Structure 1
Amino acid sequence: MIRIDDRLYDRAYFNETSARLAGRIGLKDRDDGRYAVCFTETVDWLALFFAIRKAGASVLPIHPATPYAAARKLAIGAGCDWLFYNSLTAEALERPANISPVGTLLQMSSGTTGAPKCVARSWEDIDAEIGSYIATFREPADMTPVVACPTTHSYGLICGILVALKRGQTPVVVNTANPKYLLKILRETERPLLYSSPAILHTLARLLPEGERIHATMTSGTLLPDPWFAQIRAKSRHMFQQYGCSEAGCIAINPDVTAAGEIGFVLPHLLPQTGSSAERAGEIVVTKDDGIAIHTRDLGYRRDDGMLVFVSRMDDMINVSGLNVYPRDVEDAVMAMPGVSDAVAFRMGDRFAGERVALLFSSDETVAPRAIREWCIQHLASHQLPMDIRQVDAIPRQANGKISRREVAARHAAGEFVKPISGAAL
């Protein structure tokens, strides 16, 4: 059973609806088609997903807010031969000849390291991830998963819904981003475990009245800034964190988060390699059972107790005159300043230093960049200081809640954030 907002859909409903949809689209019992699906209604998307998966075909979930032209481009890029865009009347596409007929879950990478690419994971690979996840992460066994993130993303679909169903639980899917409605659902749910994005968790932590806490929260996708982490941790009886990538799925889970950078213990179906200490951080590489090594492009290290600690994205690191600057260090310092609610640090070109730090920040009040600069001088080394500081209404985020520093840097270079707040001259 799955509850979507205020309605409960039982197994019989999904069995009947999936069979009906399979018949309407001509899905064979064993099918090698590649289907792109972009539906506004979550229940329709999930019913078609279950039908496609049962047939052993391939499916590309597309976020429901995606415009038609963009959805079509994604479907073509993933080598799909059909696109269902809010209709069971599919648009036929031309599948490239070199595409494998093996059934897979297709996902487009977030594109933080360049142009988005299609990642295909077999259903067997996903089943192995689910089995490893459940066997290792036992704390939520008596909790109710509340999925307040896109079910078209592997975080919500696999870890939120498929894991819950495998455990015999009834997941609660919340479609709206309205924090007050989400709080209502959490208050009505027995021992809720909230799967959501850092931004939503932070908003809820600020809204919760003194003395009230969420039973359990799960964060993923991007590392929490330290000020956000402190607020969310204080408002959560239990706080979990998971880490992963499109190619491997969930890699590690932390069942008791005490520091934002502690991203978890690696799941047993994966073999990790990385740095041995903070001073000797290395790329996080995991090898699957089939021997395929997956390079995450993340810098980290593994402590003696097995905890995987995240340091930075390799591609986000800023090289200022040969000195490495990790954007998170800058962001944490800025967000510790009273009044600053969010921030993103990223690289900008500099003819003298090669690269310099640029910064966008948001606040409920107007804050002069000079004040930010003076704060940073007290909390950061000289090579870490942001040289270009601009206030924006909101930090640009992707649909999954992540920040792409590469995208922000490109938009900054294109002059999108052209109006510095008064006093920006440094």
Structure 2
Amino acid sequence: MIRIDDRLYERAYFEEAAARSVDAGLIDGRGRYAVCFAETADWLSLFFAIRKEGASVLPIHPGTPLPAARKLAVRAGCERLFYNSLTPEILQPDAPSDGEGQLLQMSSGTTGAPKCVARSWSEIDREVESYVRTFREPEEMTPVIACPTTHSYGLICGILVALKRGQTPVIVNTANPKYLLGKLREVERPLLYSSPAVLHTLARLMPAGEQIHAVMTSGTLLPDPWFSRIRAASRFMFQQYGCSESGCIAINPDVAAAGDMGLVLPHLRATAGRNLEHAGEIVVAADAESGTGAAIHTRDLGYLRGDGMLVFVSRMDDMINVSGLNVYPKDVEDAVMAMPGVTDAVAFRKSDPFAGERVGLLFSADETIAPQALRSWCIGNLAGHQVPMEILQVKVVPRQANGKISRREVAARHAAREFLPVEAAE
């Protein structure tokens, strides 16, 4: 069973919908299908039907316009696109069929153009089995999924894991934080799957003395001020780390520091650096027992502690080299967000004729803060090479739907002067 907002959908509902799709000839076991529906129940009905038939599916976020959805579907090699209708659009009638059905996903594109990642249903099943067997703390909790179910975080770790445990997941289709708080109060022992930005907003709204039973964060490294606020507002706090190519890599059942991603799931094998001073790329192999399988290079810097904890340091592509000295954007952002009134920040790379690269900064705040005041704060809290050379206050720091920030995109938009200072935007 799955609860979507205020309606409970029995298993029979999805089974009957799947049978109708197959009987109507809409799906066969070797096709590649892209699905984009505004209604979650409609999207999930097709998802379960496609998976049952052993075909391949590309989930597309429901807010995607038709031309963009069509472009994504073609890029992923899909032959048909279901866009808010059970009458599909034929895109590539001669598209090659898959031997084994796959979940198709477009990578987030935080370090370049998005690419299509294909994972077989047997790989997905293995991930779910490992996740459930290892992560036992939520067994008596109710998963509340307040993030896109077209993303692997909500779909695999939220819905499929809950169904594997025999739980009834609750899907909330709104980002309205006050509504979400109300729904959480209606659920017994809720475990909230959502983005870091939503969790931070909920933590700020939480009345004194009240806590969310449990939260799961994923997708991006929490700024320290956000982490502290969310941790204080939740009884249990979990964190998971992964990538499109491998799915969930590690889970932390009791988060004590934002960078502690968790223990690597037993079906995987990961290597990284030795410590903070000798951080290295996190590389994952898909077969822990034999050590075989294609190596997945995450482009993330991190290290493995002696207790097995995987610690995240930075994206390799985000690191800023100032006159030969490395600057990790999170260090700058944490210092900036510790300033009273600052609500969000992103540090990014800017070219500099003297230092090669320097730090640029966008930030948002509850009220207008003079750039010189923020610079003075940074001088008092950061090393000289970490201090931003250019500072701009904006109304909202641009984050993606999953809470991630594409620093490359921010840098490009900043260079193109797309961001208006907060005074000009009003």
State if a TM-score over 0.5 links the two structures. yes
Distance 1:318 1:238, change over 3 A: same
Q: Aligned letter for 2:370?
A: A
Q: 1:78 corresponds to which residue? A: 76
**Residue matched to 2:15:** 15
Match of 1:266 among 233, 239, 264: 264
Matching residue of 1:53? 51
Q: In structure 1, what is the Cα distance between the partners aligned to 2:185 and 2:25?
A: 40
Supply the distance in 2 between the matched residues of 1:62 and 1:26 (Cα, whole angstroms): 18
4+ aligned runs moved over 3 Å, structure 1: 95-101, 418-422
Aligned equivalents of 1:396, 1:25: Cα separation in 2: 43
Residue of structure 2 equivalent to 1:183: 181
Do 1:37 and 1:59's aligned partners in 2 also have CA atoms closer than 8 Å?
yes
Change (3 A) 1:99 1:382: farther
> What residue in structure 2 maps to residue 205 of structure 1?
203
- Output the CA distance in 2 between the equivalents of 1:105 and 1:200: 26
TM-score, length basis structure 2: 0.97
Deviation at residue 394 of structure 1 after TM alignment: 0.5
Q: Match for residue 400 of structure 2?
A: 398
Measure, in 1, the Cα distance between the counterparts of 2:364 and 2:279. 31
Q: 1:317 — aligned with what?
A: 319
| Partner residue, 1:249 | 247
Opposite residue 164 of structure 2, the aligned amino acid is K
What does 1:297-308 align with in structure 2 at a 5 Å threshold? 297-308=299-310
**Aligned-pair distance for 1:27?**
1.7
Aligned to 2:223: 225
SS at match of 1:16: helix
Aligned to 1:133: 131
Give the CA RMSD over aligned residues: 1.3
Q: 340, 343, 346: which is aligned to 2:345?
A: 343
Tell me the distance in 2 between the aligned counterparts of 1:2 and 1:125. Answer: 23
After the TM superposition, which residues 358-377 of structure 1 pair with which residues of structure 2 at under 5 Å, given as runs? 358-377=360-379
C-alpha displacement of 1:99 = 6.6
- The one of 117, 142, 146 equivalent to 1:119 is 117
- Answer yes or no: is the 8 Å Cα contact 2:273–2:303 preserved in 1: yes
Secondary structure of the corresponding residue to residue 92 of structure 2:
coil
Which moves more between the two structures, 347-356 or 243-252? 347-356
Measure how far apart 1:417 and its partner are.
1.6
Partner of 1:276: 274
Question: Share of identical aligned residues, percent?
Answer: 75
Query: Which position in structure 2 is the counterpart of 1:64?
Result: 62
Corresponding position of 2:27:
27
Paired AA for residue 210 in structure 2: E
1:280–1:98 distance in 2 versus 1, CA, 3 Å = farther
Q: Output the CA distance in 2 between the equivalents of 1:238 and 1:25.
A: 47
- Distance in 1 between residues matched to 2:13 and 2:93, nearest whole Å: 32
Taking the aligned partners of 2:41 and 2:324, their CA distance within structure 1 comes to 52
Q: Equivalent residue for 1:162?
A: 160
Kept after mapping to 2: 8 A contact 1:369/1:421 = no
Q: Which runs of 5+ in 1 are unaligned?
A: none
Show structure 2 runs of 5+ residues with no match. none
Structure 2 counterpart SS, 1:94: coil
Counterpart of 2:416? 414
Whole-angstrom CA distance in 1 between matches of 2:403 and 2:24:
35
How many angstroms apart in 2 are the aligned matches of 1:189 and 1:78?
A: 38
Aligned residue for 1:328?
330
Compared CA separation, residues 365 and 96, structure 1 to 2 (3 A): farther
Give the equivalent residue in structure 1 for 2:233. Answer: 235
Distance 1:100 1:380 in 2: 53
Aligned AA for 1:297?
R
Q: Secondary structure at the match of 2:358?
A: strand
1:199, CA displacement in angstroms? 0.4
| Matching residue within 9, 29, 39 for 1:41 | 39
Contact conserved, 2:78 with 2:95, CA < 8 A, in 1? no
Contact kept? 1:327, 1:345, Cα under 8 Å? yes
Measured against aligned partners, the alpha-carbon deviations of 1:74-110 in whole angstroms (never above 9, x if no partner) come to 1011011101111111111126766744210000000
SS state of the match for residue 242, structure 2?
A: strand
Measure, in 2, the Cα distance between the counterparts of 1:99 and 1:141. 38
TM-score, normalising length from structure 1?
0.97
Distance across 2 between alignment mates of 1:184 and 1:421: 35
CA distance in 2, matches of 1:418, 1:5: 37
Where 1:311 maps in the other structure, the secondary structure is: strand
1:384 aligns with 2:382: no
Distance 1:24 1:149 in 2: 31
Structure-1 separation of matches of 2:423 and 2:383: 24
Equivalenced residue count is: 420
